[in-house]
Amino acid sequence: MHRRHLLSLLAAGGLAGCTSLSGDAGGGSDAPDSSASSTATPTPEPLPMPDDIERTEFALRVRFPAVTDAEASVRDGTIRYPELGVEFHAAAAYEGTTITDRQTSQTLRVARELPKGVPTVFIAPVFLDGTFEYRIYATDAFVGMADWTLSVGTTEFETSKSRPLAFERHFEYLNRAVVEQSALPGADPREPLAVFVANYPYDRVSDSPDDVTGVLSRPDNIPTTSEVPQANFSFAYDGAVTVRHEGGDTLDAANLTVVVGNRPAETQFSGEVRAGDAITVSDVDLGTTVYVVWSKDGRSEPLAQFVVSRDSPA
């Protein structure tokens, strides 16, 4: 199978449906064994918890996008930098099959929340000082699954470079690796890279081994449209979340959805939504992300988001 086809299959399959990645295993004894213990052995003395991680009631959580220099948002596995005109799509596969429930899977999870005992990984493209770096966060359960290989490349992997991936062991069960833009020689500092963490280097994946397991973060341009409304929303939390239209365009509630985690809130705006209009959403757990999403003609855009925490404004 051609590499570009596989790349699009992973990205599209991870967002749209379950697809088998079957084929010849590559026919070589030098292929890494996905059942082998990881070469990224945790250090005996873990490093302190980094400042881009916080503890929630049930898990450690990546503080993204709080650690970036540019405005960014995260929703349904897509990381978006609107000012930079780029978004990153996540996809994952386990033993040759694309994972569709990436944020809840017990087999291989891709999420900012890192629960103990669940193989979980999150790739965060962080924009700092005019360039990207790529922070890979993983639980012990993920690190121990395989001898992981890091592949970085241009969007379609026309140019790429692979090497064994070594994690630093941090607080409790947290592991982290930081990949600089220079990992791909000659890469433009402002040109985002695709990052692939798998039990095979990317050029071996072109052979479509049926036991490929890994996670992909792939950049793409944000489609531009003049139809996306410009509106500001604020959030307050006092046991329930109040979502308020603070200014900007008047919106048709038929095009707005308030989303709690991965589900629509029970309470929604109605009619025309103008500055000053507000709704209150109850039954929102700490650590949950609340989104205001605008949708029209088959396209959805997050207009605002809010992570519920004990120190959220009331």
Of 221, 254, 277, the domain-final residue = 221
Q: What is the pLDDT of residues 58-88, one digit of tens each?
A: 899 999 888 899 999 888 778 999 889 899 9
Q: Are residues 115 and 134 in the same domain?
A: yes
- Structural domain for 267, as ranges: 231-307
Q: Are residues 61 and 155 in the same domain?
A: yes
The whole model's pTM is what?
Answer: 0.62
Q: Are residues 157 and 276 in the same domain?
A: no
Q: Are residues 89 and 141 in the same domain?
A: yes
Q: Are residues 155 and 16 in the same domain?
A: yes
Q: Match 């596995």 to its residue by tokens.
A: 77
Instruction: List the one residue out of 166, 167, 134, 164 whose CA is nearest residue 149.
Output: 164
Structural domain includes residue 312: no
Give 309's pLDDT tier (boundaries 50, 70, 90): confident
Q: What is the pLDDT of residues 121-175, one digit of tens each?
A: 999 999 999 999 999 999 999 999 999 999 999 988 888 999 999 999 988 899 9
Structural domain includes residue 45: yes
What is the chain's length? 314
Q: Are residues 142 and 212 in the same domain?
A: yes
Structural domain includes residue 314: no
Q: Which two tokens stand for residue 282?
A: 């109850």
Reply yes or no on whether the pLDDT at 14 is more than 50.
no
Q: Dihedral through CA 88, CA 265, CA 234, CA 305, nearest 10?
A: -10
Give 243's pLDDT tier (boundaries 50, 70, 90): very high
> What does DSSP assign to residue 8?
H
Q: Are residues 137 and 68 in the same domain?
A: yes
What letter represents residue 3's amino acid? Answer: R
- Strand, coil or helix: 10: helix
Q: Are residues 75 and 163 in the same domain?
A: yes
Residues 6 or more apart whose CB falls under 8 angstroms from that of 108 comprise 92, 94, 99, 102, 119, 120, 121, 142, 145, 213, 215
Q: Are residues 263 and 211 in the same domain?
A: no
Give 49's pLDDT tier (boundaries 50, 70, 90): confident
What letter represents residue 143's amino acid? Answer: V
Q: Are residues 70 and 206 in the same domain?
A: yes
What's residue 77's pLDDT? 78
Reply yes or no on whether the pLDDT at 268 is more than 90.
yes
Q: Are residues 52 and 92 in the same domain?
A: yes
Structural domain includes residue 116: yes
> What does DSSP assign to residue 181?
G
Whole-number Å distance between alpha carbons of 70 and 129: 10
Of 221, 255, 285, the domain-final residue = 221
Of 195, 221, 247, the domain-final residue = 221
Reply yes or no on whether the pLDDT at 111 is more than 90.
yes
Full 3-state SS string of 103-115: CCCCCCEECCEEC
Q: Residue 255 maps to which CATH number?
A: 2.60.40
Reply yes or no on whether the pLDDT at 224 is more than 50.
yes
Q: Are residues 127 and 268 in the same domain?
A: no
